[in-house]
Structure 1
Amino acid sequence: MITIRKAADRGGADYGWLQTAYTFSFNTYHDPEHMGFRVLRVINEDVIQGGGGFGEHGHRDMEIVTYVLSGALGHRDSMGHASELRAGEFQRMTAGKGVRHSEMNASADEPVHLYQIWLLPDRRGLEPGYEQKAFPEADRRGAWQLVASPDGLDGSLRIHQDASIYLANLDADAALSRPLDDGRHAWLQVLKGSVEIDGQTLDAGDGASVSRQSSLDLRAVQPAEVMLFDLA
């Protein structure tokens, strides 16, 4: 079963300095039909204008993965990390028993476009942790590139949950499949371009949940970048 979540149906807001879209209920947007999918709790697409950002704030008991599509994001946290997350880079932060951080556009003039993902951890009270990494774009051309996994397989970021995150970049008309083991589920998020699955076209910002299927088969309608979550 494949269920489409169109970009236009997401929640969100325009604060001037921030344009944000919420795939699942978040902040002041509440929809009991869209509270998350499996352990996937948040998929937020943010565009932060130059000089803007989120001042210091706290998180607890969440695995937070951030992917920058364009621009650069400044990060500081109570673990002592001060870094700049550039286009194409990933960050994993385990909030665990408590962490504070800030996220600011690293530029005074250019916007930063990013996705932030929250997953429920496999247990509460973990020690806070942090990773940041860029993955070679060539390794996801027409293929699934593992960027996060429970055991850090193949140099991927380690997340404390039975979930894996993949990226793929596809040329127009390219096809790609992903087998799903029995009892597994998937969420596909289109980051750029458009793809076709199950006879339906998904554009940038669209997503789809996949359950009770042996595979997910997609074809790029236009050059596309997609993110896939393999979930218990």
Structure 2
Amino acid sequence: MKTKVLFIVVITSLLSCSSPIDKKFNEETVKEDIEAIKGRIDSTDLQLLMGSIISLKFQEKKLEDMTYADILDNGKKLKEEQDKFEAEQKIIAEEAAKKEAIRLQRLNEVIMVSCFEKGFAKYDYEDYITYKFVIKNKSNKNVRALKGNITFTNLFDDEISSLNFVYDESIEAGTTATWNAQTDYNQFKDEDQLLKNKELKDLKVIWKPETIIFEDGTRLD
């Protein structure tokens, strides 16, 4: 009985050692080795193995000292590290997005900007797209100046154009002001043509506040 058990152990050991995944890397037979390994591991591990071979070659590692199993383990470790890094990145990005959303909400509770007219004009042989904005101070403090950005998109939220918005005249608490602006028109730029030809009702106007300065010297950023 003991002899039979020992025989089975020896045979199992030999079969394990002869598995293509346990073979040492060989530059000359790598294609054949990979073909032999394909039937032994799933497609995900196969991609990790091949990716790890390429990565280690770029690092000028001596692959001949490693088995294909060692190379695969290296790929799995790299994948784990990459997944961990991407997860941390995602958390940081989500936290930053939440903070930005809160910041914008706080600023939008103070100042609201809307575009109520868009046109086209020529001055001194130059062409311009013109805009009229209404600014509402919704706070209980007088605003001294404000800065932000206006983005024009189509109805599918695809950005067409944007402009910097700077208004440095006082706006009393609870009142509104108007601001006329213009941007250069370039007939050879697709975005300029699109913005010029679109009616305001077919555009979305997105106000993104950056800084608000109050007459008492305080500010919101």
Point out the structure with the larger helix share.
2
- Give the TM-score category using the shorter length: under 0.3
TM, length-normalised to structure 2: 0.22
Rg (Cα) greater in structure? 2
TM, length-normalised to structure 1: 0.22
